[in-house]
Structure 1
Amino acid sequence: MFLLGWSIWCILLTLHMSACVLEISGYDSHEVICSQGLLDCTIKDEVPLAEAENNSLDVQNLTAYFKLCCKDSRPCTLCLVTDILPDIDMEDEGHSGLDEEDSSAETINPKASVTVCYKATSTMPTCKKIEFTVAHTALTQQNRAKLSIVITKPVGVSFGSKVFVYSSKSSLPREVVAPSQDEVCSRELQERVEECRVPGLSIVINREMNQVELQFAGSNESLPSVCVQYERNGRCQNWKMAAIPLYSVTPCMCFQVWEENDQRSRRSQSCPFYNSDLLFKENLWQNVSVSVGQGEMNNLHTMLLWNLSAPCRLEGEVWPCHKDTSCREIKGFRQPLANGKWRKNSKGQWETTGVFEDINLQRSPCVLVNVKGMGHELGPFCFNNTDRWRWSLVVVGAMLLICLTMLIFHILHDFVKKWVWSWHHGRFVEIGRKRHVVLLSPPDVDDSVSELVCRLGSWLCNQGFSVSVDQWSRKEQCSLGPLPWLHSQLLELKSHGGRVVLVLTRKALERAEEWTRKEVIMMTGDDEGLPQILSPYSDVFTASLCLIQADKQLGSAGERFLLVKFDSHPRSDRSLPELLQGLPLLQLPSQTQALLTELSVGGTSRGLGRRTWTGWKWSASDEWRSKPKEGSDCKYVGV
């Protein structure tokens, strides 16, 4: 009797321990729960589609669901729980012919196993094999054998994922859908779920700066990502600034905030202006737009179409009216705005449309809108009868035809004028071919000199020349360098014809004399103490001196280079430096026509000869001060 009692106590203790949750070593993320009658439960990974072993059991029932697993104070994670009812033959009690004196002792059958697999979208199946030993004497019809598998962070599964769970010996998988992130984050445990943590958003209305400031709490060092939407289901547009102008805030404005660098971060949505003051409602009313048009019914009767757009969906009424001294309502046509179908248009506005049937469009009806809470109507927005505009279109067309005729006459007049001018100057200039002019500024820093050079360049553009001014090409010069840039302009002169116009001032003459002295010093071999600015790579003016010297050695400097001075500059007794002697020299604006002759015909014209420095007096002529004509081939390059 003592041995029998001890055996029964050991069996009950074993059964009690087998009902506990077992964490298997090596599988920290998986747990198996076995009911009474199943002993020594273990779980391990199994290869999908592996051949079933002899001890593998069928599954009578399989149930799968998701839950949040929370342990101690650690963050909660998503778990897949599978309840299994294995198919164990209750009639096979596993007796093996024991003696009568041992018939009360329980007999343990060999081990059995069950294999369960799960598969998420776009992933390979993952299988788990549970092995256990069946104690038949502990099982009854009321106390069936059950298994539960808890898989923490299942492979390829996230919030909202669809998962198929099945047994290796069953052909019918069970479909189970993980809860969505919004559903999980709306529960009490959202503080313990990492995916539910979002930056907090608060707003501060700064009326002095006329803006709404966005402030964030609980975000990382960098600002979180923000997008702005109108209405909760509106299209969300990215917003990169920490403030919003006060005039653009409306009652339905909402914000979504999330951590851009955190892949698990969810978006939080807040609409802080729903119960806002009158200011934000006025912003909404000022952005309401209404348009009307014409339509035709199946019975050929006309109808009036109306379209209303606004940042937010509105409540109110729309009705047609006839306009005389005031807009008199056409009775029986009122339509509520709230019942219309609102949709987002291409500009991000909310839009709704409507129709007024059997409206006489010959009387040019209008539409009035009453918005709830506004206190007065919007409109009237009127339909313009196209018949009334027909004669207006005829008049406008006739005026356009007259203007076009005058424009053609003006173009031909300029053409004939240039042809006659060329004839009087002894040779024909190729009409339609734009000669190229390179206008080089002196090395002055005086703004008045720069302005005169720019005006001269603009005037030459209006005369039909292709003009390149060094002041308009600073960006090109920085990338190429002064001397290479000037070489590129000379190549264009070679292909199109034209001249390089060098503007002279007192500073320019001093620079030319320094250049001449430099050449003398270099010929004697004493180059100590030469100023750095004399390098042809320092500025365009110095680079031009280098090219003039090379042309003079070839005897062709006067063919490419031309000197000009402005009458507005003070007198000077200084003579031309030796480097510039022999080049044509003109005074502006007193010798404007001579300049045009030089640039149009090319070469040294008769009567110009060699000019020396003389004192000039400013002429009141503003002929070349006008801006370039539209369409002229002038090169304006960003400074």
Structure 2
Amino acid sequence: MGLTRRWVPHVVSLLLSLCFWLFVSAGALEIFDQDTPEFTCSKGLTDCHVDQAPFSDDFPDPYSKVDVTQLQLESVLCCSNKQNCSLCLQVTITLQADEMGIVTDVSEESGDDGEKEDFVKVHFSVPGTLDCWKILYFKQSNTTVGKSTYKLLLREKVQFGSPVMVSVDSKSQNMTLPSLKNVCDEEPNGTIKECGPRLCVKDQGRNVKLQLVKADVRQGDAITWQMVWDKIPAEQREWPKEKDEVVIPSDFVAPCLCFQAWWKGSLRTQICPFKNNEGALENMQHSVSATLVESQLRNGGIGLIWNVSAPCILEAEVWLCKKGQVGGQCEEVMGSRQRLQAKWDERSNRYLQTGEFDVPSHPLLCVQMKINGTKSLLEPQCPFATSRLRWSVVLIIGLLLVCLAILGAYLIQGILQGYVWKWLKDEDVKGAVGGVHVVLLYPPDDNPCLPELLCHLGSSLQSLGFSVSLDLWSHAELSMLGPVPWLHSQLDQLQRQGGKVVLVLTQASWTKAEEWGAQRSERKRHVKEEEAGRDYPGSSRCADVFSASLSCVLADYLQGRAGERFMLVQFESLPPEPPGSFRPLPELFRGLHVYSLPSQSLGFLTELAGARQVATASARRKRAGGLRMASRALAQRLSAFTTGSNVLRLVGVHQSCVAVGGEDSGETVPLQPSLITPPSSPDTDLQGSEMEWA
């Protein structure tokens, strides 16, 4: 319904004392410790004990008659340290004694022997179970003078809600024991394991807070709770751990809203704090809707069908009204008023009711509704009203055409970008790089995307005119020569053609460099020990080209040529360190330039191409333009391969680590600052050491 949503300030003003009432209402049943004897006698009686048998014939007949004057039954709790309580029935038997004692009609067999015990038989009868007999033994003290009253107290464990009949002598009494729910409503939670957690509600202005009574929270037990509207339950949720309240938005408040909570295996605690609350009824109006449609009626004619949807079963009236001028009142159509019936249909977790008006549709005809108990009407619904703003259709069509034009231009731009590379002058790009040799190295890595990404980078560099060597493409040579000779052959080619060895900076290479530096320091210490006459284990041989290159990086630094032959590159889609981590670069790599691809493609290609002597300013501009075109093409290819910096890190995305996405139009801002490391020492203790080649 088009009712304006509003919050009634005092929706739950009557609930402010609910939590306090729950605290003070506990303790209705008397509590006894389980260690207390089940049978006790009042003062004046001694040697009290009890015996039990399933049949009355199992006990001897009394040799004397006990004068039982009163029988009283009472429900109590039998607990262990006021916890793990169970329901018990306390039977109080009152005996009357005179100058002759509490027994009468003494048989001849009893004689005057004061050592004989007196006893009474107690009969328990519970429907659906076997009868039980108990005999209570006792002796009367000789110090009693005159008339006296004695009491016998017997406690027996019973089931919640069961009827029971107790008979003693000629007296009997029936009692229906309290149900578990009634006991849980009166007793503090935690004393009875089967009881659920206790809830209370507090008004917090625009929200309502559902709270747990702290004394009721059982340590370590998970609590489940849910909201229920007129027996329609919402989704079950787990109560937040270490919190004693949950905030309920005011939109959910309705007169029929109840809250349930329970522990696993316990009774469900339920409170319905908004029942018969006028403020909650007013607040619910935004959740009630009434609709009107033209349809076939039950008599076969064409008329109007009304539908009312609400979260609660409510009493209301609906009627037709005629809408006047804009902003005017909707005048009721006399004779159209209908009352909602008591029976509602439950569909889609809401209550629905339908009726009909035997009238044709009209542009000014609306349906209006009023909920009993509220002061305001719901906003009328006018589904057949003709819009007076016909020009808005033209405006909408114009906006759609503009949006289509913008979308078409964007698509055309994307298509044109795919042909940009064909329009580039290949001689300008290849003249800028000039056949420079590039060696791509990376350590063995568990990431399945890295080899494909390296192959794509190598192919892209080849298409730009570079000469590229990659250990993935040279398995036959590596098998025949080994990693160290193969690496030196590539370094010789670099010396002839120019270029760089590009070390890929990943989490694995980062860790490899740190371990390599630590192992080298350890080997130095062992060398000193060997010189002192001690044995040490020999160093392991390089198993891959990347490990062999680390010795060359160190040798370049020691010769004062750090960064001449080696450089670092990292991929923004495979960052070498987790987000937010700022650990320092391994000492072995300090002094090498680090470039982030694809955002720093221009600097990367500029260093690969190297510095050249250019005679004229025109040639310098031409070379700079070629490098810019080459960097733009490289960035677009890498971006299209990885589809941004986040795709390769999504869970479950494999597809050969290739995803097609939009291309970047040019240089972009890097994901993290460029790591251009200063030409400082990889390790302060490396300067005085000799070069070590793999």
Q: Shared fold (TM-score greater than 0.5)?
A: no
Higher relative contact order (CA 8 A, sep 6+): 2
Q: Shorter-normalised TM-score: what interval?
A: 0.3 to 0.5
